[in-house]
Amino acid sequence: MTNTSSGAKQLLLPDWYDRLLAILAIILMIAVVAAVAKGRDQWSVIPWQIWAHLGTLSIALILTPMMLWRKRGDRLHRRMGWAWSIAMVITALISFDIRQVNAGGFSFIHLLSVLTLSLVPLLIWEARRHKVGAHRSTVRGLITGALLIAGYFTFPFDRLLGDWLFG
């Protein structure tokens, strides 16, 4: 980071919202693990797309608190950021091949996938241009929408993870 003003330094530190997003990501990851464990009797009939989607999603969920709670802007943050971004893009792309809920059609969650595919390149561009405030806002938006809101909507009772966790 080239700007060393106190305002820019403050953006590098986690605040209450970063901590909240990190905690919610951990809770969602725990729910995913619990659901998958409870659904083990059905693992053999689950298509590869769902396993790949859960895998890439898990990478992003695990990296989220690590990135939000630690120092930003260093080499490790950038490497984790690339891994997180790639995981988010792959997760979004795979989601277009998961359409069982709407009888083969797309659902509301797929709009979040389109948004993810639009915002991840912006996120990278902002980071590369050292637009720290804009980068932080984009990250928060992606975590809130593409991870947490989309994740929440995978747990209603008519969805696989919800059925596994609560069924």
Residue 92 belongs to some domain of the structure: yes
* pLDDT at position 4 over 50: no
The answer to whether residue 98 sits within a structural domain is yes
Residue 2 placed within a domain: no
**What is the overall mean pLDDT for the chain?**
89
| Residue 1 located in a structural domain | no
Q: According to the model, what pLDDT value does residue 6 have? A: 57
Does any domain span residue 30?
yes
Supply the pLDDT for residue 1: 44
Answer for the pair 134, 123: CB distance below 8 angstroms, yes or no.
no
pLDDT of 7: 57
In a domain, 6, yes or no: no
Domain that holds residue 145: 14-166
Which residues lie closer than 8 Å to 88 by C-beta, 6 or more apart?
Answer: 56, 60, 116, 120, 142, 146, 147
What's the domain count of the chain? 1
